[in-house]
Structure 1
Amino acid sequence: MTAVDAARLQFALLAGIHFSFVLVTLGLGPVVAVLQTRWTLARRADRRAVLERATRFWGQLYLVNYALGIAAGIVMELQLGLNFPGLLEVAGGVFGAPLVIETMAAFFLESTFLGLWVFGWHVLPRWAHTVSFWLVVLTGYLSAFTVMVANGFLRNPVGVTVEDGVVRVTDVGAVVTNPAVVVSGMHVVGACLITGGFLLVGVSAWHLRRAPTRLSGVVAAGLPGAVMSEENDVWRRSMRAGVVTGTLGSVLAIGAGFGQYAYVDTESSLANAPGVIGVAYGVMDMVGFLTFLVGSALLLLLVRDALFRMWRPLRRGLYGTLVVLLPVPFLTALLGWVAREVGRQPWAIAGILRTEDAVTDAPAGQVVVSLVVLVGVMLALAVADGVVLARLARRGADRVVLGAPPRAALVGPGPEIESTLTFGGTR
């Protein structure tokens, strides 16, 4: 393995793993914001209770993924300086500027608003608390957009000129409105919404599939069945939100995906690596259209709650299938990045800088060591994220720490149930 091979492999693995965090953050964020907005505006006490549970549950998953995703982003940017000094020397003024803005947005704006949201439960006015999370979502999308500006420049360098071997900006507007940024950014947003929708639907289906058993267990334990009914209402509402989010995401991903052909030299890309890129494009097209068709069918089943009232064996089979399909958008999105990045080779900056000239001149062994260390760190973060999210998802919405008073977080739903029974439903 040469230094170029090791550097490319390291970038591919780190970018792919980091992108899995981004998919959940950008896909789940708008859903949590909408749930909290509906909770803030709801007038009926029962509806407020269900929407609060849903907001806290999905918000907790969002928070865990966000925290570990920030750490993964630091690892991602570290390897650029280690392995691609030529890229920074030639185009650091163009490529580096968006990444600086992204870092400032993530670490200053986004994290500040997220802190207000996390520690503002029961402290901030409801409207201010809701606005703080909307600002988290908006700054998160701003952060993602700046990354797409940097990546779009590599794929389709416009608005720049090369002087004395250094790339300089001549038209900032052209750099920002680059079709490799705008159109591809919309495609990425669609992929993220599909992922968020699959996550909502998959977790909700898992809980609804087990609902009869769990309900009998709650009643046997002497707890009111209404508590379990309220939690099931959380999963029904979450599944509705997931179906709508995933279907809208598929429309955006398909439309913007085909829109990319306006600037992508598909014949050249397919000639470079027909096996990889051709398969990736084919799988993405198939998954996008199937998601739209299945999502449309599920939207029809939401009429009069047919999705939750169908014959039980059929319903359990459908729910089980939806759970199994949960990894599909993650794998499909990774194929999309493979097609985008491999299709640019042998160029680090299309038509300007070759990858072999951008990579460090350090010995191959040194690059392999950094590959093993950094990929190991990234894999540890990804495994931790997956394990924690899975445990929180299995626990359900009846014992969520985020937004709960300290005593309720320690002892579970008991005091809340007791309060509801004692004080006639007043929380």
Structure 2
Amino acid sequence: MDIVLLSRWQFAITTIYHFLFVPVTLGLTLFLALLETCYVTTKRAHWKEPCRKLLKFFGAIFLVNFAMGVVTGIVQEFHFGMNWSEYSRFMGDIFGAPLALEALTAFFLESTFIGIWVFGWDKLPEKLHCACIWLVAIGSNLSAFWILVANSFMQHPVGYAIENGRAIMTDFMALITNPYVIGEMSHTLFSGIATAGFVLLIICCWKYAVDDASREVFLQALKAVSIYLIIGIMGAMGTGHVHTQYLAEAQPMKLSSMEALWETEDPAPFAIVADINQEKRQNDTEITIPGMFSFMLYNKPEGAVQGINQLQAAAEQQYGAGNYIPDVTGLFWCFRMMIACGGAIAGLAFLIGGLAWVKQDWLLKYKYLLALTPFLLPLPFLANSAGWFIAEAGRQPWIVVGLQKTADAVSPNLTPGEVFITMSGFTIVYLILAIIAFYVICRIIHQTTIDTANDEGRAL
């Protein structure tokens, strides 16, 4: 098997697995910070203790997720030396700076104040303890920012020069104000809020349905979580829409591949479904909405969108002969899966949130349906994985757009057997870790009771 393809598969598996935990951490730290702020400032004494126990309950789940994110994230950095040494040689001067800043700033905040927050209950003043979780939230999201700064350069290089065959940073401010990182960071932030909000919504629905003693507390939690989720999913949709419009300028090949638009059209239709024939560079059959894609990009039902075939010809003229078309089928269907999952999440958020706020009797009457909501848990993770597939696969065949191809970035001395063995090992270890983490989180959920009647509650 091709060494480049195997290395890409290995990196994809470890990255997607790592990114199962990252959005939950990003969103959950912010929710915990907001919840503890409410705990510290509330004037309703009868809710203070239940709020504290909710904090410890959600905090225990956060700690398991955070630990998994840290462990799986460490592996990512080793890939650049083991599998992608030519990339590291070419990009080290630029790629190393944001990674170093992540360790010096973001990871320092997270690792220091998460310990103080965990062990500081009843030892620190309430406001100081609350400040600790805010610093953890800032550190977690700052970590995402530095990683996205590095990734955004790979997508849209700025502030650099080529010297002696290597990319050299010439403008650090251009690097961190890259228009691509602004779109990626805002979308990632709101996606994290939506992911964490949906996970919490599922947990609250389950506890409301099966735990009679905790029902009143988790009804109130449902109200707060539903608002948080709605903010997250609507923000993710809005920032995703704006970023997609930006792709028309920054990465037109990725954009047209997401739509399987082979020829330039004005106005451009939106394909609901399509039978894509990448070998012939055409769609054998398709169902489209006329003008909709132009409307999505330009906010009006007209405007030309460049076709894949025209973009391929332009790339050949600029970079030389070669295939500059990414996996159109994968991008097309991942884009639609992301949209479908986002729509389902939004619908569920408005439905359950609305019932929690205005029709509590309906929630109680149909609580058995709430007990089925855990089956919907994969939705945000499917959306996140699809989004990252679009971001990474959409720039192929480039690892750094316009500067270095993926085939030129792989380590020269690797063998397919070595990559296959390590990829299999990572997959098995990650599967075991996933089972353990899932078991521990389920145990926390099952063993936690928060009863306002007798003020008893416990969480691992």
- The interval holding the TM-score normalised by the smaller chain is 0.7 to 0.9
* Distance across 2 between alignment mates of 1:134 and 1:207: 27
**Equivalent position SS for 2:162:** strand
Q: How far did 1:135 drift?
A: 0.3
Question: Structure 2 length as normaliser, TM-score?
Answer: 0.79
1:375 counterpart = 2:362:
no
How far off its partner does 1:91 sit? 0.7
Task: Report what 1:51 is aligned to.
Answer: 51
1:391 aligned onto 2:447: no
Identify if the C-alpha distance between structure 1 residues 183 and 107 changes in structure 2 by more than 3 Å, giving closer, same or farther: closer
Question: Quick check: 1:31–1:241 contact (8 Å CA) kept in 2?
Answer: no
Who is 2:74 aligned against? 74
Point out the structure with the larger helix share: 1
Are the equivalent residues in 2 in contact too, given 1:54–1:397 (CA < 8 A)? Answer: no
Structure 2 SS opposite 1:310: helix
Question: Is the deviation greater in 50-59 or in 61-70?
Answer: 61-70
Alignment equivalent of 1:283, drawn from 321, 337, 344: 337
Displacement of 1:311: 6.6
Deviation at 1:416, TM superposition (A): 7.3
State how 1:349-368 maps to structure 2 within 5 Å. Answer: 349-361=400-412, 362-368=414-420
Q: Is 1:296–2:296 an aligned residue pair?
A: no
Deviation at 1:152, TM superposition (A): 0.8
Please tell me whether the aligned partners of residues 50 and 455 of structure 2 are also in contact (alpha carbons under 8 angstroms): no
Q: Residue 50 of structure 1 contacts residue 233 of structure 1 at CA under 8 Å; is this kept in 2?
A: no
Instruction: Tell me the residue number matched to 2:368.
Output: 316
Q: State the one-letter code of the partner of 2:219.
A: R
Contact 2:222 2:356 in 1 (8 A): no
Task: Give, in whole Å, the separation in 2 of the partners of 1:294 and 1:384.
Answer: 29
Q: Report the CA distance between 1:26 and its aligned residue.
A: 0.9
Asked whether the 8 Å contact 2:219–2:356 carries over to 1, the reply is: no
Counting only pairs closer than 5 Å after superposition, residues 35-114 of structure 1 correspond to structure 2 as: 35-114=35-114
Determine the C-alpha separation between the residues in 1 that align with 2:121 and 2:187. 34
CA drift of 1:314 comes to 3.1
Distance in 2 separating the partners of 1:206 and 1:135: 30
Q: Is the 8 A contact 1:57 1:397 kept in 2?
A: no
SS of the aligned residue for 1:162 comes to strand
Unaligned runs of 5+ in 1: 216-227, 400-412, 419-427
The answer to whether the Cα contact below 8 Å between 2:148 and 2:185 also exists between their aligned partners in 1 is yes
**Structure 2 residues not aligned, in runs of 5+:** 261-324
* Residue 380 (structure 2) aligns with: 329
Any idea what SS the aligned residue of 1:272 has? coil
In the TM superposition, residue 206 of structure 1 has moved relative to its aligned partner by 0.8
Structure 2 counterpart SS, 1:68: helix
**RMSD over equivalenced CA pairs, Å:** 2.2
SS of aligned partner of 2:19: helix
| Paired residues, number | 384
Pick one of 224, 231, 244 that aligns with 2:227.
244
Match of 2:123, SS state, is coil
Call closer, same or farther: CA 1:383–1:179 in 2, change over 3 Å.
Answer: farther
Q: Deviation at 1:358?
A: 0.5
Q: RCO greater where, 1 or 2, for CA within 8 Å and sep 6 or more?
A: 1
Distance 2:108 2:363 in 1: 51
Residues in 1 aligned to 2:79 and 2:101: alpha-carbon distance in whole angstroms:
18
3-state SS in 1 of match to 2:168: strand
Confirm or deny that 1:267 pairs with 2:245.
no
Q: Is the 8 A contact 2:50 2:450 kept in 1?
A: no
Deviations 1:221-262 (A, max 9, x none): xxxxxxx2xx32331122122211211111111111122221
- Which structure is higher in strand share? 2
Query: Is this contact kept in 2: 1:197–1:241, CA < 8 A?
Result: no
Normalization by structure 1: what TM-score? 0.85
**Using a 3 Å threshold, how does the CA distance of structure 1 residues 232 and 312 change in structure 2: closer, same or farther?**
closer
Cα distance in 1, alignment partners of residues 29 and 86 from structure 2: 36
* Paired residues of 1:284 and 1:336 also in contact (CA < 8 A): yes
Give SS of 1:344's match: coil
Identity %: 32
Alignment of 1:131-280 (within 5 A): 131-211=131-211, 215=212, 228=213, 231-261=214-244, 262=246, 263-265=250-252, 266-267=255-256, 270=260, 271-280=325-334
> Compared with structure 1, are the counterparts of its residues 397 and 176 closer, same or farther at alpha carbon in structure 2 (3 Å cutoff)?
farther
CA distance in 2, matches of 1:380, 1:156: 37
Following TM superposition, by how much is the alpha carbon of 1:313 offset from its aligned partner in structure 2, in angstroms?
4.4
Shift of 1:396: 2.3
Measure how far apart 1:272 and its partner are. 2.2
* Alpha carbons of structure 1 residues 191 and 107: separation in structure 2 relative to 1, 3 Å: closer
* Deviation string, structure 1 residues 164-216 (Cα, Å, up to 9, x no partner): 211112222221111221111111112111111111110111111113xxx4x
Whether the aligned pair in 2 keeps the contact of 1:94 and 1:168 (CA below 8 Å) is: yes
Separation in 2 of the partners of 1:351 and 1:74? 28
Q: Deviations over 1:43-77 (max 9, x none)?
A: 33311011111111001111111122211111121
Residues 123-157 of structure 1, C-alpha deviation per residue, up to 9 Å, x if partnerless? 01111000011000001100010011111111111
Larger mean CA deviation between 353-362 and 233-242 belongs to 233-242
Distance 1:109 1:28 in 2: 16
* 1:347 corresponds to 2:401: no
Query: Does the 8 A contact of 2:210 with 2:371 survive in 1?
Result: no
Deviates more, 1:131-140 or 1:95-104: 95-104
Other-structure match for 1:22: 22
